Amino acid sequence: MNKNDEARLEIYDLHADGQGVAKWADGRTVFVAGTFPGDIVWAKILKVEKSYAYAKNMKIIEPSASRVEGSCVCPAAGPCGGCQFQHYDYTAQLKFKEKLVQDAFRRIGQNFEISPIIGMDKPYNYRNKAQFPQALGLYAARSHRIVPVTDCNIMHPACIEVLQVVQKMAIPNLRHLVVRVGQNTGEVMVIFVMSDSSIPPIDDIKADTILVNENSANTNVILGKKFTALKGSGYIHEELGHVRYRISPQAFFQVNSAQAKALYDLVAKQLDGVKRVIDAYCGTGSIALYTANQVEEIVGIESVAEAVKDAEYNAQLNDIKNARFLCGQVEDLVPKLLKDKKYDVLILDPPRKGCDGKLVDTIIESGINKIVYVSCNPITLVRDVRLLCEGGYRLSYVQPVDMFPMTRHVECVVVLEQLRASGTMNAYPQHYPKT
């Protein structure tokens, strides 16, 4: 096999990054973007490694039975690269994501049967946040090349409406257009990220609040530190079930409100009869506030000061008095909390890189009875689960949730229970490699 070689390939599987998997004549694995199991394609080798290669899909010779075409497919889906699966039947997408999670656990020796994935009845127009560079379109995958876009099948319609209005303005010095929507409140926030202190026209824009953000730094960070409200309060609100959230310009909030509620309901079910809970990596406190009515006390931990302020404000907004929030590193604050008081459940919702090794050590040493782990990355999830199981926990529940339809991403709620509490284990083995 050499670079630029071409061949007919049959796609038989999908990699975790969404690329189709095929076999070359010499047995080497070939990854082909934009393909799905069942596709037969003519492919060109782009890069060759020792045991695998990457190829470009030059032509679909025979399409997979799961491949769909027509109006349901966004014309920018290929060039943009954000929706790896928009060309495939939604049922097939869900089956792949189930398999992805199941395979990840089996690779660590956990043949635990996962629950069927929770999908969406209408898997389009769900995304409540959009970032458009120069209001021209979207960045292509793994690049800063802008793919022109005037519509998007997964964006909330309000995001597209704002985009189309701003595209007619041709605003100079506009770096990014950011739009956020409360799916259940209908409130809209628009942020103009400018490279200087100029003020864009806003008369034709339908939004509850409009801000201008100045960012002249030569960096990949989209938002600068200086915000000025041109209209409204500078905030919008979203409602999930019984909780109302104020969302600030920089606050993290799940981009799919409908599936966020489904996710939080799964966490809430694990807290029946529980008194004290720690919510690690709590962000703006969305899970802590949603589940606070089930417990006596819940403590959220977050390293971003602005997020903690949002969490505290939202606790007041909902008159929630049994939730408090601490600003600091999770790996530093969890040991202190566990030393001072007994907690029944630890909720973990870490970033894609998973839990810090020091935190895993602390959890195992604490012997806390139950862990509810929320993850957006099956690879780091199973790494941490393996370490926790080696340290005295057992896997008792795995539930995938399709938070991001049309993409390769999948969310999971996993529950681990302490074995030693039931007398089945007297000591911990070595659990975390020291480096």
d(CA 157, CA 209): 17
pLDDT of 171 above 90: yes
- pLDDT above 60: residue 421: no
Q: Where in the chain is the domain with CATH 2.40.50.140?
A: 6-67
pLDDT at 71 over 80: no
Q: Is the pTM of this model over 0.85?
A: yes
Q: Which of 264-268, 280-284, 305-309 has the highest mean pLDDT?
A: 264-268
Residues of the chain with CATH 2.40.50.1070: 129-238
Asked: is 129-238 a CATH 3.40.50.11900 domain? The reply is no
pLDDT, averaged across the chain? 91
Question: Hey, what are 148's tokens?
Answer: 């022109």
Dist. CA 164–CA 190, nearest whole Å = 13
Q: How far apart are CA 342 and CA 338, in angstroms?
A: 6
Considering the chain, tell me which residue range(s) the CATH 3.40.50.150 domain(s) occupy: 256-422
The conformation of residue 389, written as its DSSP 8-state character, comes to: H
In this predicted structure, what is the pLDDT of residue 429? Answer: 37
- Is 256-422 a CATH 3.40.50.150 domain? yes
Tell me which residue of 79, 54, 62 sits closest to 4, measured CA to CA.
Answer: 54
Instruction: Give residue 72's pLDDT.
Output: 62
As given in the structure block, the two tokens for residue 73 are 């497919």
What does the pLDDT look like over 345-357, one tens digit per residue?
Answer: 999 999 999 998 8
Encoded tokens for 24 = 């070359």
Taking CA atoms, 201 is separated from 44, 97, 106, 151, 169, in Å, by 48, 44, 55, 22, 8
The model's pLDDT over 373-402, given as tens digits with 9 standing for 90+, comes to 999 999 999 999 999 999 999 999 999 999
Catalytic residue positions?
Answer: 376
3-state SS, residue 427:
coil
pLDDT at residue 282 greater than cutoff 80: yes
Question: CA–CA distance from 322 to each of 140, 261, 279, 319, 344 (Å)?
Answer: 44, 21, 13, 9, 15
Which one, of 128, 154, 404, lies nearest residue 245 by Cα?
A: 128
Domain 6-67, classified CATH 3.40.50.10540, yes or no: no
Residues 183/238, Cβ–Cβ less than 8 Å: yes
* Mean pLDDT within 315-323: 97
For the four alpha carbons of 307, 308, 312 and 318, in that order, the dihedral sign comes to positive
